[in-house]
């Protein structure tokens, strides 16, 4: 999965170009650049790759979610529905705006369950944030229908799923706004970086201004720009954008390698009757950045993870016991441990969360094992890995 595994001459060339120009900031200093604008070029490449009208680069995937929500008017007191299985950044980005994260169950796609979403809607609900975890997707048709029925914003966090598709549309381009991360372990990396994409011009304009202190970016004199509204600093640098520019041009290469390695492993695990795979909705195509499968129960999954470790099979996880990606161990969220005072509404919502159980999510996450697909593996290494995985699973059942 990580694009850094294939860093080479293209990345070095783009980086050196920035250093030669000497302008590391994405805005201003027009005369020094000699026409070289890496962030603008990357935004243009992303528009083509993601089949969208507008792209705004930001500093990381977490800020992409905050900027996306803010650009559509989500803020203090608004409820945002999100899944129990995601990265902690999802609720961090919501809380940053003073909004309230409302967690609901996932289904066998490992994405939001549309029925759970609909049951959680209240008069305060403003948005539904679907997270396309581990290279695949939730049932987007069902979620889109729920959002349309209740006039809710659909925000698509595709930070782990660049290259995946649903009904021939890139993941991230299906909702009202899409969010991407280009951190160090993503398929396309900038080192640190992110993007907000949309087909809504107003949301784009808001994202453009909000992510740069409210600057309107009108004219060629940054000091003379006005500030239509409050903003903050979520800018990407030219150095980071330069790396991403080289990487996005290699996306098809990365996806091809991921698919080959994924297929070898999946074909091998398919021989085991007790192994089933995550559901990919009709019309969906994974990015093949992770292989996700289910075992009969939590005990078997835990035993398998230990067998993997003993066999030297790395980068595989059972998220049930994971501190970062599943609600079960998000004690800092449930206990509202914040450096600054939280609003009464947020405290009340988190108090409810601390007592809430997610039996359906436990059923899927407890039995799930998720394996990263590396770009650096040779075919021989993948085949050896497949043999070890099969042996380890069989010994654990």
Residue positions annotated with a catalytic role = 186
Rounded Cα gap, residues 104 and 114, in angstroms = 9
Q: DSSP per residue over 284-335, as a string?
A: EE---SEEEEE-SSHHHHHHHHHHHHHHT--SEE-GGG-TTTBGGG-HHHHT
Nearest to 293 by CA among 315, 317, 312, 309: 317
The 8-class DSSP code of residue 191 comes to B
Q: Report yes or no: 82 and 102 within 8 Å, Cβ to Cβ.
A: yes
Q: Report yes or no: 284 and 164 within 8 Å, Cβ to Cβ.
A: yes
What are the tokens at 333?
A: 């969220």
Rounded Cα gap, residues 252 and 144, in angstroms = 28
What are the tokens at 265?
A: 């492993």
Q: Report yes or no: 178 and 131 within 8 Å, Cβ to Cβ.
A: no
How many C-alpha atoms does 251 have within 13 Å on its Cβ side? 21
In this structure, are strands 153-157 and 177-181 parallel, antiparallel, or unpaired?
parallel
Q: 3-class SS at 276?
A: strand
Q: In the chain, which ranges are continuous DSSP H helix?
A: 9-21, 30-33, 38-50, 61-71, 89-96, 114-120, 140-150, 201-210, 238-248, 251-269, 298-311, 331-334, 344-355, 359-367, 379-396
The 8-class DSSP code of residue 209 comes to H
Q: Residues for the chain: how many in total?
A: 397
Q: Report yes or no: 152 and 125 within 8 Å, Cβ to Cβ.
A: yes
Q: What distance lies between CA 366 and its chain's CA centroid?
A: 21
Rounded Cα gap, residues 393 and 354, in angstroms = 34
């Amino acid at each position: 999965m990580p694009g850094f595994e294939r860093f080479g001459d293209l990345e070095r060339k783009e980086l050196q170009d920035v250093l030669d120009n000497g302008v590391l900031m994405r805005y201003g200093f027009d005369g020094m650049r000699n026409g070289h604008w890496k962030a603008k070029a990357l935004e243009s490449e992303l528009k083509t790759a993601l089949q969208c009208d507008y792209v705004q680069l930001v500093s990381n995937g977490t800020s992409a979610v905050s900027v996306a929500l803010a650009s559509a008017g989500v803020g203090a007191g608004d409820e945002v529905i999100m899944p129990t299985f995601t990265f902690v950044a999802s609720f961090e980005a919501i809380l940053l705006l003073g909004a309230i994260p409302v967690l609901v169950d996932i289904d066998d796609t490992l994405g939001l369950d549309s029925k759970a979403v609909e049951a959680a809607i209240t008069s305060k609900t403003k948005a539904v944030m679907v997270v396309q975890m581990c290279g695949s997707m939730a049932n987007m048709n069902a979620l889109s229908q729920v959002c349309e029925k209740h006039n809710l914003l659909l925000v698509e966090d595709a930070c782990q799923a660049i290259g995946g598709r649903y009904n021939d549309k890139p993941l991230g381009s299906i909702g009202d706004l899409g969010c991407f991360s280009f951190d160090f372990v993503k398929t396309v990396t900038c080192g640190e970086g992110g993007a907000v994409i949309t087909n809504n011009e107003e949301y784009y304009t808001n994202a453009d201004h909000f992510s740069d202190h409210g600057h309107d970016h009108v004219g060629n004199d940054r000091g003379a720009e006005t500030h239509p509204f409050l903003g903050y600093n979520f800018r990407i640098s030219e150095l980071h954008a330069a790396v991403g520019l080289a990487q996005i041009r290699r996306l098809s290469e990365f996806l091809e390698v991921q698919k080959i390695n994924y297929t070898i492993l999946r074909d091998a695990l398919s021989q085991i009757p007790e192994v089933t795979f995550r559901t990919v909705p009709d019309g969906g195509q994974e990015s093949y950045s992770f292989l996700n499968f289910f075992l009969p129960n939590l005990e078997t999954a835990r035993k398998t993870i230990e067998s993997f470790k003993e066999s030297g099979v790395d980068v595989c996880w059972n998220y049930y016991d994971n501190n970062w990606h599943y609600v079960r161990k998000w004690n800092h969220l449930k206990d509202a441990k914040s450096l600054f005072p939280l609003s009464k509404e947020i405290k009340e919502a988190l108090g409810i969360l601390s007592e809430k159980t997610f039996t359906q999510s436990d059923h899927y996450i407890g039995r799930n094992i998720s394996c990263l697909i590396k770009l650096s593996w040779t075919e021989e290494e993948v085949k050896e890995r497949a043999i070890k995985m099969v042996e380890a699973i069989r010994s654990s059942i």
